[in-house]
A and B are shown apart, each in its own frame.
Chain A
Amino acid sequence: MNDMSAPVTSGIETFDCRVAFAETLAELARVDPRIVVVCNDSVGSSNMNAFQKEFPERLINVGIAEQNMVGVSAGLANGGFVPFVCCAGPFLTGRALEQIKADIAYNHYHVVLCGQSPGMSYGELGPTHHSIEDFAWMRALTDITILNPADPKQTRDAARWAAQANRPIYMRVGRFKVPAVTPEDTVFEPGRALTLREGNDVTVIATGVLVSCALEAADILASRGISARVLNMMTIAPLDEAAVLAAARETRGIVTAEEAIITGGLGSAVAETVVRHHPVRMRILGVPHFAPTGSASFLLDHFGLNADGIVTAATELMA
C-alpha cells in the first residue's frame, strides 16, 4: 500500500503498531511457553517471520482456511495453550464468525483474536478487504472483550494484558502509522476510557486511528472558544459506561469517531448507553456504507473521518 500515514499526522512522528505488536508477542513467548501464534498463510503480512524463526514449533500456519484456523485455536486453548490468532481483520471476524461465537466465546476459551490491518487500511483492495464491520459483529457476541489500541504503547499493553486475561479477546492491530497519543506513564486499564483532554462544552469519544484526529480537533475547537473533552475509548466492549455518562452529564453533547461501519460500533454502544440513562445530543462519525476505491487516507477524508469532520460535528452540537 502506498500511503499508510494517517492524514492528520503530517510533520508528527508516527509509528507502526504491527511492529510493536510483533515485538511484544515474541517477548511474551520467551517467558510464557503457552503462547502460540495461529495464522492463515499470513506469516509475512502479520509480521510473524521473526516469531516463526525463533519459535518454529509454536507458529501454526493452517493455510488459507480461516474457519479451521479459529476452530484449531479453540482446541489449542483446550490443550492449555494461549493462541494469538493473527489474520487480516475481514477474514477473521467475518469469515469465521460462527466459529468465533460457538467455539471461542461460548466455550469461553482464552484465545486472542488479532485483526490485522483493520478498518480501511487495505483501502484500494476494496470492501471485501475492509474490516469495518468487526466492532458490530464482535459486539453482538457475548463474552468477547474488544480492544482497539490507538498507538504502539496501547498495542503493547493490550497484548501483555491479553496474554494473561484468561478470556476471549478480539483486538485490532493497526496498519496505519499513528502518532503516540498515550502518555508513557499511563497504567493500562482495559474497560476504562482514557481522558486525554479535559473539557466541559462537548465530548469527543474516539478510538484507534481517530484518537489523534480528535486531539487535533480539540485544538481547533479551543481556538474557537469551544472546550472539548477527548476520551480515547480503547475498549469497545465492555464499554466504560461511567465515562460516557459523565460526559453526557457534564458536557452538552457527544461526538463519536471510529474507523468502522456506523451501525453497531462504538457510536452505537455510546448511544445505547446514553439513551438508557441520560439522553444527550450525539453525532456518530464512521463509515456509512461500502467504501469506494482509494487509499486508506483518501477514504478517511472521503468520509470526513478526520479533524475537520470532528470539528464540524462538534460545532453542530454546540449550536
Chain B
Amino acid sequence: MSTALAQPGDTSSLEARAARLKEIAADIRVSIVNTIAGPRMGHIGGDFSVTDILVTLFFDIMRTRPADPEWAERDRFILSKGHCSAALYSVLATAGYFSPDLLSTFMAPLSVLNGHPNRRKVKGVEANTGPLGHGLPIGVGAAIAATISKSDYRTFVVLGDGELQEGSNWEAAMFAGHRKLSNLTAIVDRNRLQQGARTEDTNSLEPLGDKWRAFGWEVHEVDGHDHAALLAAFEAPRIDKPRFLIANTRKGKGVSFIEDRVEWHHKVPSPEQVLQAIEELRAQ
C-alpha cells in the first residue's frame, strides 16, 4: 500500500492521483472495520461516508508534516463530526502521525484513542470535537488567525449534514462570509442520514447550496466518493470568499449491507459481518 503523502509539485495527472487515493481509501476502510471491531463500538456509517474526503485531504491536498504535527505553517483540519474518529485515526496513523499499532487500543481503558478526537492526546488532531456544531467556529478562528499572522495555510472543516441543524454553524457561516475568508473550506458530508432518520425527514436542509451562497460563500457540489472531483474542487482557483463543498456521499459507502441504512449510524458488525465487509472492500 502506498502511504506516502503527495509531494509538493507532484506533476502526476489528476487520474493518477485519484487512482492512488482510491487505493489508500480502500485500505483505510479496512482499517476502520478492524478498529471498531475490537471494542465493538464506533460510528461505521459516517466513517465510511467521510473516508474519501479525508483521504483526499490528507494524502494529497493538505500541507502537513506528520513528524512535526505542530508545524506552524501546516494546513489545519478539523473533523467537526467527531463521532467519526475511527476514520480520522485510521487516516492519521496511515499518514504517519502515530503508529498504526495504536489503533488496536481504540476506546480501551486509558487509551489515548478516545471515542471522540482529543487534541491533547493525539497527534494531528487540531480540536476536540464530538458535541456537534463546534468545528466550523473554530475553523473560522483558525482562518482569521492565518490572515492576521500573514500565513498562507488553509483551514478545512468537515461537517455532518445532520450537524448543520445546529445554529452555531450558521453563526459561523455568516461571519466567515462577512470576513471573506478565502482560506477557509467547509466540506459537508452530505450522506442525507443522521442518527435516527433522514435529514430531509427530520429538519430539512435543502436548498443547501443556495443557503450558503446567500451567506457569501462560493459553493461547489461534487460526488464525495470521486477523488478526481474532490481534487478539482479543492484546487479550484480561489476567489475572495470562503468555499463550501457539498460532497454527496452514501453513509456506509463500500459495504453492501451497511450502505444507506440508518441503523448503521453506530451499529457494529458481527464477527462474520466483519469478514464479509473486508472481503467486499478488498474486491473493489
Contacts and interface: CB of A to CB of B under 8 A. Distances in A.
Interface stretch (B52-60, B104-112, B251-259, B276-284): B104-112
A2 B39 contact: yes
B130 A129 contact: yes
Contacts of B113: 293
A201 to B, nearest CB: 35
A63 B41 contact: no
B115 A292 contact: no
A42 B111 contact: no
Given A1-B41, A63-B194, A128 B130 contact: yes
B82 interface: yes
B126 interface: no
Contacts of B82: 128
B196 interface: yes
B130 A44 contact: no
A124 B107 contact: yes
A44 B196 contact: yes
A160 B279 CA distance: 52
A294 interface: yes
Given A42-B195, A124-B41, A91 B110 contact: no
Interface in B195-213: 195-197, 199, 202-203
Contacts of B202: 41, 61, 63
Nearest to A39: B196
A65 B110 contact: no
B47 interface: no
A64 B108 contact: no
A45 B262 CA distance: 13
B203 A298 contact: no
Interface string B213-243: 0000000000000000000000000000000
Contacts of B115: 122, 124-126, 129, 293
Interface string A292-303: 111100100010
Contacts of B131: 90-91, 94-95, 128-129
A57 to B, nearest CB: 16
Contacts of B167: 65, 67-68
Nearest to B163: A64
B46 interface: no
A283 to B, nearest CB: 25
A128 B120 CA distance: 14
Interface in A19-47: 41-45
Given A45-B195, A90-B131, A124 B165 contact: no
A45 B166 CA distance: 19
Nearest to A292: B110
Contacts of A1: 41
Interface in A265-318: 292-295, 298, 302
Contacts of A67: 167
A125 B130 CA distance: 8
Interface of B: 39-41, 82, 107-116, 118, 128-133, 162-163, 165-167, 194-197, 199, 202-203
24 contacts: A1-B41, A2-B41, A41-B162, A41-B194, A41-B195, A43-B197, A61-B202, A63-B162, A64-B194, A64-B195, A65-B167, A65-B203, A95-B131, A124-B41, A125-B114, A126-B116, A126-B118, A128-B82, A129-B130, A129-B131, A292-B109, A293-B112, A293-B115, A294-B108
